[in-house]
Structure 1
Amino acid sequence: MKITIVAGARPNFMKIAPIIHEIERQQKLGATISYRLIHTGQHYDKNLSDTFFKELAIPAPHKNLEVKSGTQAEQTGAIMVGFEKELEAHPCDLVLVVGDVTSTMACTIVAKKAHIKVTHVEAGIRSGDLKMPEEINRIVTDSITDYFFTTSEKATNYLHSIGNTEKNTFFVGNVMIDTLLSNLNRLKQPAFWEEKGLQEKNYYVLTLHRPSNVDALEGFSKLLSLIVQKANKLPIIFPVHPRTQKILKEANLVFENLHYVSPQGYLNFIYLVKQAKAILTDSGGITEEASVLNVPCITFRDSTERPETCVLGTNILVGNNTHLIEEAFNKLQSGNWQQAKPIPKWDGKASQRIVEILLKLHEG
C-alpha cells in the first residue's frame, strides 16, 4: 500500500508525525505499507519548519513544492499545479491529508481528479463560521473525501448526517494529542525564560492571528489593551504570527508587560503552554493542548470547531465581547476555573488506530 502524505503548514507537522512513526513501526512488523511525504511549502519559514521536523523526528520530505506566500487563490492554484505533477511522477494508492489548511483542500481536489482515494484526518469538525478560510477548506475536503478519521463523536455524527456511514467514517481520536503526550518528557525551557522573569503559573501565553482579531488596527489595539489591563502586570508572552508581525510594526503597539517573541519550536512552545497561568488565543489547536494539559484557556472567537474543549476541557469562548473577557479574567483570578476531564480517545493512540484501519481497508 503506497500512501502520499501531505503537510503544508505548522499545525500539520504535529499531526503527520505520529502517523509516520506508526507506519514505520508497522513496516518493521512486516506490514506492506509505504509512504511518500510531500511538504507543499505553504508554511515557508525554512528555519522554523526545519525545527519542527527535527524536534518531532519527521524525516525530510521526499518533495517540497515550495509554494510560499500569496493570496488564498494564488496559494491554492500553485499547490494544485505542483501536486498534480507530483502524483503524475509518483502514483499512489491513497492520499492522506490532515487538518484544514489550504494544502488540505487543494491536494484533496487534485487527488480526486486523478482518481486516487483520499483519507482526511481530523474530518468532520465545523465552526459554522464561513468567514474562516479553514471552514471552507473543511467543507470542500469532506465533500469529496473517501475515508474520514474523526477526533470526536460529534464530528462522526455530523459526517453520518450528510450521508457517510460506518464503512468510511472512523472515530479514532486526536493525532495532535498523540504528539503532545509522546513529547511531554522532552519539553525545553525557552532561552528567554530568565530574561523575561518568567515563573511557573505566573505568566500568560498569547497567540492571535485570525483576521477578525488582527486585521482592523483599532479593534486589535483595543483587544491588546484590554488583555494587558486584565493581566494585572503579569508577563504576557506573545509569539508573533507573520501576518500579525506586520500589523504590530505599523501600529507600534508597546506595553510594559507584553513581550513579543519570535514563533517558537514545538518543544519550547508546549513548555510555555504547560507552565502558563492561562492561554489567551484565537487558535483551535492550542485549545486542545491546553485542555489535555489542564491549563485555563480563553479563546477570542465566537464559535469553535472543537466544542469538546469547552465541554470537557478548559476552554471558554469570549469573542471580542468586553464583558465576557472581563468575566473570564475575573473567574481565572478567583481560582475558580473549570477543570479538564478525560476526552474520549485523546489517549495517544489515534495514529495506531488510523494505520491499522488503513491496512484493513487495503486488504479488502
Structure 2
Amino acid sequence: MLIDLIAGARPNFMKISPIIDAIDKAKNEGKNIDFRLIHTGQHYDKNMSGSFFDQLGIPEPDINLGAGGGTQAEQTAAIMIGYEKILVEKGKPDLCLVVGDVTSTMACAITAQKLHVKVAHVEAGIRSGDWTMPEEINRMVTDSITNFFFTTSEVANENLRKSGIEDGRIYFVGNTMIDTLLKHKPRFQKPEVWDKIGLEEGEYIVMTLHRPANVDQEEKLKELIQEIVNHTNGLPLVFPVHPRTRKMLETIGISHAKLHMIEPLGYLEFNYLVERAKAVVTDSGGITEETTVMGIPCMTLRANTERPETITQGTNELLGVDPQAISPAMEKLFSGQWKKGGIPELWDGQTAERIVSVLLEKL
C-alpha cells in the first residue's frame, strides 16, 4: 500500500510528522505500507517551512511541487496542476492523505478524487462556521469528497454526522499535533531572544497574529497591539512576526519598550517560549491546542473557533476581535482567576498509530 502524504504549510508539518513515524514503524514490523512525501511548496519561506523538516526529523520530500505564493486561486491552481502531473506521470498511490485545512489540503484532495484516488482527511470535521475564512472553505470542500475521516473530538464527529457522513467512515483518533508536541517536548530549545532580553519563566507573554481580520487594517492592528502592550502589567511581550503581518507593521511604525518583534521561530524554540510563558495571545487555531496541553492561559483574538474543546475543556478563551476585550481578560489573568483546564480525550500522543492501524485494516 502506497500513501501520498501531503504537506504544504507550517501547520501541516506538525501533523504529518508522527504519521511518517507510525508508517515507518509499521513498515519495519513487516506491514505492507509505504509513503511518498509531497511538499506542495505553499509555504516557501525557510522560517515558515524548511526548519520544521530539520527539527521534527521529517525526511526530505520525495517531490516538491514548488507552488509558491500568489492569491488563493493562483495557489490552488498551481498545486492542482503540479499534483495532477505527479499522479499521471509518476503513478497513483492507493490513498492521498491530507491534513488540516490549508489550501494544499483542499487542492490535493480534489485532484486525487478526480483521478479516482481515495482521500483520507486528518483533522476532519472541525468547523468555525465562518465562511470569510479561507480555511473554512477548505475544510468543507475537503470533507465533502473524503473517504476516511480522522477526527480530533466528538464535536468534529457530530459536525460530520450532521453533514450526512455515516459513523462507519468516521474514526475518532485524537490529535496528531499533540503527538508531535509530546514527542518533542523534552527537546524544546531556548531561543536567542531569551537571553537577549532577559526573559524569566512566567514573566512574559507570547503573541502571534496573522489573520486578515486582525492584521489587514492599519488602524485596527495598531489599536490591538497598543491595547495588549498597555495591559501586560509591564511584562515583556514577545511577538514572532508572520511575514503577512510584518508588511503591515512596517507601514504603522509601532514600537514600545516592552514589545519585542522577532523573526518567526522554529518549532522547538517557539514552544520553549510558550511552555514558560505567563500567557499566550493569538489568533491561531493550532496554538490553542498546544497551550491547552501545556496548561498555559490562552487568549484568542477571533470571533469564533473551530476548536471549541480548547475552550470547554482547555485553557483557551475566545475574546473576539474588539481591542476593548483585552483589558478584562488581562485583569482576569493577573488576578489569578484564569481557568486551569484539562486535556481532551485521546490527545495522548498515540493518534498517528491509531490512524495507520485503521488504514492497514481498511485499505
TM-score (norm 2): 0.98
In 2: Cα distance, 1:351 partner to 1:16 partner? 9
**Residue of structure 2 in register with 1:63 after alignment:** 63
Asked if 1 retains the 8 angstrom alpha-carbon contact of 2:19 and 2:352, the reply is yes
- SS in structure 1 at match of 2:195: coil
Alpha-carbon distance, 1:256 to partner: 1.2
Report 1:1-364 matches (<5 A).
1-46=1-46, 48-88=48-88, 89-362=90-363
Per-residue Cα deviation, 1:232-252 (whole angstroms, up to 9, x for no partner): 221011101010011111111
Alpha-carbon distance, 1:90 to partner: 2.6
Deviates further, 48-57 or 112-121 = 48-57
In 2: Cα distance, 1:211 partner to 1:273 partner? 23
Amino acid at match of 1:143: S
Q: 1:323 to 1:245 in 2, by over 3 A?
A: closer
Alpha-carbon distance, 1:134 to partner: 0.3
In 2: Cα distance, 1:42 partner to 1:142 partner? 20
Deviates further, 152-161 or 39-48 = 39-48
Alpha-carbon distance, 1:319 to partner: 1.2
Amino acid at match of 1:39: H
Amino acid at match of 2:303: D
In 2: Cα distance, 1:232 partner to 1:166 partner? 49
In 2: Cα distance, 1:90 partner to 1:43 partner? 25
Alpha-carbon distance, 1:307 to partner: 0.3
Alpha-carbon distance, 1:46 to partner: 3.0
Asked if 1 retains the 8 angstrom alpha-carbon contact of 2:213 and 2:321, the reply is no
- SS in structure 2 at match of 1:234: coil
Alpha-carbon distance, 1:323 to partner: 4.2
Amino acid at match of 1:241: H
Asked if 1 retains the 8 angstrom alpha-carbon contact of 2:153 and 2:174, the reply is yes
Runs of 4+ in 1 over 3 A off after TM superposition: none
In 1: Cα distance, 2:186 partner to 2:95 partner? 34
Deviates further, 158-167 or 238-247 = 158-167
Alpha-carbon distance, 1:166 to partner: 2.2
Deviates further, 225-234 or 315-324 = 315-324
In 2: Cα distance, 1:313 partner to 1:174 partner? 14
Percent of aligned positions with the same letter in both sequences? 55
In 2: Cα distance, 1:323 partner to 1:79 partner? 40
Per-residue Cα deviation, 1:73-94 (whole angstroms, up to 9, x for no partner): 1000000000101111231100
- SS in structure 2 at match of 1:205: strand
- SS in structure 1 at match of 2:24: helix
Asked if 1 retains the 8 angstrom alpha-carbon contact of 2:47 and 2:264, the reply is no
Amino acid at match of 1:84: E
Per-residue Cα deviation, 1:200-230 (whole angstroms, up to 9, x for no partner): 0000100000000000101110000100000
In 1: Cα distance, 2:331 partner to 2:298 partner? 13
Alpha-carbon distance, 1:159 to partner: 0.7
- Aligned pair count reads 362
In 2: Cα distance, 1:295 partner to 1:218 partner? 29
Amino acid at match of 1:128: G
Amino acid at match of 2:204: Y
Structure 1, gaps ≥5 residues long? none
- SS in structure 1 at match of 2:79: helix
- SS in structure 2 at match of 1:320: coil
In 1: Cα distance, 2:66 partner to 2:343 partner? 39
- SS in structure 1 at match of 2:142: helix
- SS in structure 2 at match of 1:193: helix
Per-residue Cα deviation, 1:12-46 (whole angstroms, up to 9, x for no partner): 00000000000000001010001000000000013
In 1: Cα distance, 2:72 partner to 2:165 partner? 29
TM-score (norm 1): 0.98
Structure 2, gaps ≥5 residues long? none
In 1: Cα distance, 2:56 partner to 2:325 partner? 37
Alpha-carbon distance, 1:58 to partner: 0.5
CA RMSD in angstroms comes to 0.9
